[in-house]
Structure 1
Amino acid sequence: MPAIKYYFSVLSPYAYLAGTRLEEIAARHGADITYKPFDLLTAFGRTGGVKPADRHPARLEYRAQELPRQARKNDMAFNLRPAHWPVNAAPASYAIIAAQAAGGGDLGALTHSILRATWAEERDISQDAVIREALQSAGFDPALADSGLLTGAETYAQNLEDAVSDGVFGAPFYVVDTGQKFWGQDRLDDLDLHLSGKL
């Protein structure tokens, strides 16, 4: 069974634009996904990247065109300047980590629900009520928002170290157990082809 480590930030618009395509690809190939939310902004500093606020205006201008374009391409609602961004990513990340440990629900749906809350619904994913609703709608116990905070913090920190060790420098980032790496939601078709043995 193929295994995919999925590195992402709950603040990433590109992770939102991935939708649930990773889960669809994994199901098609019988692949196992390990969800690894991590501190992307810290990773930028450790891997030669630049935080969005510090990027050259030309890069920001391109981002402002590319994000809505990709949203239209995938028929997804999208707000380029959401009311609640950036916010503290830790609570939502900890909830995803706790849900993965607990099992019993749909992690892909949970992750996408949290991302959609920011980029399409103008909701604040650092708020307990938003996280609880996302947990419940994905089939998890909403009380997971309050449990395992220490473990969540430790895992979140370890995910950053794992990301740097695995050569991750952006999000979303997919690392297959074959050693192949795919950066960006626009490389999901290549991931699919790789798992098919065609790439």
Structure 2
Amino acid sequence: MAHIDYYFGTPSPWAYLAGDRLERIAARHGASITYKPVDLMQLFDRTGGVRPANRHPSRMEYRAQELRRWSQHLGAPLNLKPAFWPVNPAPSSYAIIAAQQAGGGDLPGLVQGFLRGVWAEDADIADDAVIRAKLAAAGFDPDLADKGLFVGAETFGRNLEQAAEAGVFGSPFYVVRDSGERFWGQDRLDFLDRYLAGL
């Protein structure tokens, strides 16, 4: 059975636009998923990327056009200027890590809830009340927001190291663990689907 390591940043618009396609692909092929939230700004620094604040205006203008086009294409509402962006990714990432460890809820729903919070709901996903509400909505104990903060921080840092070692440099990024085959971007999910099908 294939296993996919899913690296992403909770403030990533491209991870938001991926929706639940990864989960549907994995279910179709009997693959499992490990969710690995990372600090994208540190990942960019480590792998030769450029933080959005430092990118040339022409790149940011094109990014906005692409986000608008993909939002329309996928029917996913997206605010190009969200109220809380950039946002500290650590609190939401810790919650995802704690929820993955605890089990029993809808982990993909939680991940997508945080992403949707930034890009479609103008929610501050670093705010404790928002985190608790997202945990509860996905069927997890809201108190996970306060539990395992040390483990969350440790795992969050380890995810960054593992991402760099695996050749990850952006979000969303999908790595098939056994083969090391890598897919960068929500627009590469069809290729991941084909790969898992043996095509």
Report TM bin, short chain: over 0.9
Cα drift, residue 107 of structure 1: 1.0
Separation in structure 2 between the aligned mates of residue 126 and residue 146 of structure 1, nearest angstrom: 13
Which residue in 2 is equivalent to 1:9? 9
Shift of 1:118: 0.6
CA distance in 2, matches of 1:144, 1:153: 14
| Unmatched segments (≥5 aa) in structure 2 | none
Output the CA distance in 2 between the equivalents of 1:10 and 1:156.
Answer: 12
Deviation digits for residues 129-183 of structure 1 (CA, Å, limit 9, x no counterpart): 1111111111111111110000000000000000000000000000002211000
Instruction: Give the aligned partner of residue 54 of structure 1.
Output: 54
- SS of 2:158 mapped into structure 1: helix
Say whether residues 1:151 and 2:156 are aligned partners: no
Deviation readout 1:88-147 (Å, 9 max, x if unpaired): 111000000000000111111000000001100011000111111111111111111110
The 2-side partners of 1:28 and 1:174 are apart by 16
SS at match of 2:62: helix
- Contact in 1 for aligned 2:15/2:171 (Cα 8 Å): yes
Q: Bigger CA drift: 131-140 or 29-38?
A: 131-140
With structure 2 as the length reference, what TM-score do the two structures score?
Answer: 0.98
C-alpha distance in 2, partners of 1:78/1:159?
27
Secondary structure of the corresponding residue to residue 7 of structure 1: strand
Say if 2:14 and 2:186, in contact at 8 Å, map to a contact too: yes
RMSD: 0.6
Matching residue of 1:184: 185
Within 2, Cα distance between the matches of 1:169 and 1:118? Answer: 21
Q: Does 1:118 align with 2:118?
A: yes
5 Å-filtered alignment, 1:1-199, equals: 1-177=1-177, 178-198=179-199
Structure 1 residue 40 displacement after superposition: 0.8
Q: Distance in 1 between matches of 2:4 and 2:154?
A: 21
The TM-score normalised by the length of structure 1 is: 0.98
CA deviations on 1:21-50 (whole Å, 9 max, x unpaired) are: 111111111111000001110110110100
- Name the CA distance, whole Å, in 2 between partners of 1:43 and 1:88: 14
Query: Quick one: distance in 1 between partners of 2:62 and 2:86?
Result: 19
Counterpart of 1:120, as a letter, is A
Amino acid in the other structure paired with 1:62: Y
Alignment size in residue pairs? 198
Instruction: Give the aligned residue type for 1:113.
Output: G
Alignment partner of 1:175: what SS?
A: strand
Shift, 1:192, TM fit: 0.5
Misfit runs of 4+, over 3 Å = none
